[in-house]
Structure 1
Amino acid sequence: MTARPAQPTAIRTDLGAIFVSLELSRSSWLMTSLSPGNGEKMSKHSVPAGDLVGLLTLFGKMRERCEAKTGCDYPIVSIQEAGLDGFWIHRVLEKEGIESHVVDPASIAISRRRKRAKTDRIDGEALLRTLMAYKRGEPRVCAMVRAPSPDEEDRRRICRERKALIAERVTHVNRIKGLLFSQGVTNYEPLRRDRRRQLEELRTGDGRTLPAYMKAQICRELERLELLLEQIKTVEEERDALIAAQAAEAKPSAVKLLLAIKGVGAEFAAILWSEGLFRHFDNRRQVAAYAGLAPTPWQSGSVDREQGVSKAGNPRLRTTLIQMSWLWLRHQPSSALARWFSERVQRNGGRMKKSTIVALARKLLVALWKYATSGVVIEGAIMKNT
């Protein structure tokens, strides 16, 4: 937007750029634009999804029409929601010299009516108004997403793939145990190395051998399970190789520092680094908010209470921090954080452990962030080399 005029006007139309919002879907891309010299009219255009050439052609036509009306060549400023399309469109637009922004859709204010209208047309206009307010410098109008680099985005795959494989492994193990439980067998462990020999020796609760078709089904389940175990092993080797490469650097990396803490293994260190600590944060509030561990107050008149954590951040990082907090109490009982947890629980009469562990997770994340970025050692923490 251009500078404010000396005399304020009710409606400002002196735009200093062509503002475009992109509403992306799997079938089409809807563009809503507002250009200088076009009054207050928002124009709408659409191209088939994935038609990047058509999108850039439309951008070029917008600039040509704007220049024909105003005699000036204006830049294009675009906005899109973070979603399934990822960041590849954002990267292409920036490579073409277009100022591009990716916004967190949950941060955009919407109507709170019980039945509100929702269409791509309405959403496109709302995105455009949000972009203009953001460029005017209005505080807290939305939360823009910092797009990770391709390398940062790619190395997340390792830990995320391992988590998906572990979930599939649990599914197959439970299915095998469920099939055997229906026949009175409760002592079979599919993850043991002698799983197939055990299967041959199994007898049902009434002393029979396993039914032929059930045994064949379990064998096929074991084949899928063994394939999963092999893939998990491969992914863990890739993870360990990535961690070793980072630890071998001359400059102390976040992964190397995290691995020096007792109770932090390769998986925890890799998730903390790839999901959160590789980013730059200005303060501890940003760190807690990124993990969804920031408190959410509800205050209106005489009502003043806490609703718990926001859960609006990275769910993988938040889950890992809560799991790590329980293990922190076991491996670091003499640390200041563990003592704080014990005193807080005792003050509540031994109750509210779950809500207190979430508070501990927030404190632990902030402490690890300070340690990994500035080298501030956590008070009372035991290191592996001591």
Structure 2
Amino acid sequence: MAAIPTIEEEDARRPSRERESLVGEQTRLVNRIKAVLTRLGIRSFRLSLRSAADRLAAIRTAEGTPLPDNTCAELSRLLARLSLMRERIRTIEQERLRRLAAAPAAAASGLHAMVRLIARIIGIGFETADMLVHEALSRGLRDRRAVARYAGLTGSPDESGQRRREKGLARSGNARVRRGMIQLAWRFLSFQKDSDLAQWY
């Protein structure tokens, strides 16, 4: 039976989901800007600089000519949108850290305490911890198999007569949790190479 989340539980997931959406849009903008610049033979322009929009006038194409007017205007608009996306992402992250700092540390049963506890593990940041707590661990899942089923991390066997084969992950659960747990597994192998679990793997 599906457990329907309360309004407060659903509301607690909004910042993480909004940030995920903004990061996706930021990636699309960066790729679009790079595509426009690559068409003109420009590959060394650094979008991470705060003064990237001010440097547009100094950019030269592969032939040594300045950027065409319409292209320069389009890039200015795209860079303005990119700056807005980065500002919104930063606002969400700062608000989450403010809420975590404001929550009393003594409330061990609260979700904020769970986020802080998980974020103390090497290789897990606040974003992953927040997503895991609000998307999966706040639910009353029975055991680790229920967590795996919810995340879509169970196998999908194909059995017919004498033929038996494994078709990989089922991918039928929560995509955010599945993606986060797979990234978490790789981070665990990267940051905790000497742990017993990593050695066993």
The TM-score bracket by the shorter chain reads over 0.9
1:266 and 2:126 aligned: yes
Contact 2:123-2:188 at 8 Å conserved across structures: yes
Structure 1 residue 274 displacement after superposition: 0.8
Structure 1 residue 247 displacement after superposition: 6.2
Q: How does 1:294-309 map to 2 (within 5 A)?
A: 294-309=154-169
1:330 and 2:187 aligned: no
- The runs of 5 or more residues in structure 1 that have no matched partner are 1-143, 342-386
Q: How does 1:98-117 map to 2 (within 5 A)?
A: none
Q: Note the alpha carbon deviations across 1:67-102, whole angstroms, 9 max, x for none.
A: xxxxxxxxxxxxxxxxxxxxxxxxxxxxxxxxxxxx
Q: Secondary structure at the match of 1:218?
A: helix
1:187 and 2:56 aligned: no
Structure 1 residue 221 displacement after superposition: 0.8
Structure 1 residue 207 displacement after superposition: 0.6
Q: How does 1:16-165 map to 2 (within 5 A)?
A: 144-165=1-22
Number of the residue aligned with 1:275: 135
Alignment coverage as a number of residue pairs? 198
Q: Note the alpha carbon deviations across 1:209-261, whole angstroms, 9 max, x for none.
A: 11111101110111111111111111112222333345624326321220121
Which AA in structure 2 matches 1:209? P
Which AA in structure 2 matches 1:286? A
Which range moves more in the overlay, 277-286 or 263-272? 277-286
By percentage of residues, which structure has more strand? 1
Report the CA distance shift for 1:297/1:264 in structure 2 as closer, same or farther (over 3 A): same
What CA distance in whole angstroms lies between the structure 1 residues aligned with 2:131 and 2:100?
Answer: 11
What CA distance in whole angstroms lies between the structure 1 residues aligned with 2:76 and 2:156?
Answer: 50
Number of the residue aligned with 1:339: 199
Number of the residue aligned with 1:319: 179
Q: Secondary structure at the match of 1:270?
A: helix
- The runs of 5 or more residues in structure 2 that have no matched partner are none
Q: Note the alpha carbon deviations across 1:132-156, whole angstroms, 9 max, x for none.
A: xxxxxxxxxxxx2100111111111
Number of the residue aligned with 1:172: 29
Q: Which entry has the higher C-alpha Rg, 1 or 2?
A: 1
What CA distance in whole angstroms lies between the structure 1 residues aligned with 2:102 and 2:158?
Answer: 46
Contact 2:108-2:114 at 8 Å conserved across structures: no
Q: Note the alpha carbon deviations across 1:266-313, whole angstroms, 9 max, x for none.
A: 111101111101111222211110110011222232111111111111
Which AA in structure 2 matches 1:171? R
Which AA in structure 1 matches 2:137? L
What CA distance in whole angstroms lies between the structure 2 residues aligned with 1:281 and 1:242?
Answer: 26
What CA distance in whole angstroms lies between the structure 1 residues aligned with 2:104 and 2:174?
Answer: 25
Which AA in structure 2 matches 1:274? H
What CA distance in whole angstroms lies between the structure 2 residues aligned with 1:234 and 1:170?
Answer: 18
What CA distance in whole angstroms lies between the structure 1 residues aligned with 2:29 and 2:104?
Answer: 35
Contact 1:162-1:232 at 8 Å conserved across structures: yes
What CA distance in whole angstroms lies between the structure 2 residues aligned with 1:246 and 1:290?
Answer: 28
What CA distance in whole angstroms lies between the structure 1 residues aligned with 2:151 and 2:173?
Answer: 5
Q: How does 1:352-363 map to 2 (within 5 A)?
A: none
By percentage of residues, which structure has more helix? 2
Contact 1:263-1:327 at 8 Å conserved across structures: yes
1:209 and 2:66 aligned: yes
What CA distance in whole angstroms lies between the structure 2 residues aligned with 1:238 and 1:324?
Answer: 24
Q: Note the alpha carbon deviations across 1:179-206, whole angstroms, 9 max, x for none.
A: 1111111111222212123322210100
Percent identity between matched residues is 40
What CA distance in whole angstroms lies between the structure 1 residues aligned with 2:99 and 2:181?
Answer: 21
CA RMSD of aligned residues (A): 1.5
TM-score, scaled to structure 1: 0.49
Runs of 4+ in 1 over 6 A off after TM superposition: none
TM-score, scaled to structure 2: 0.92
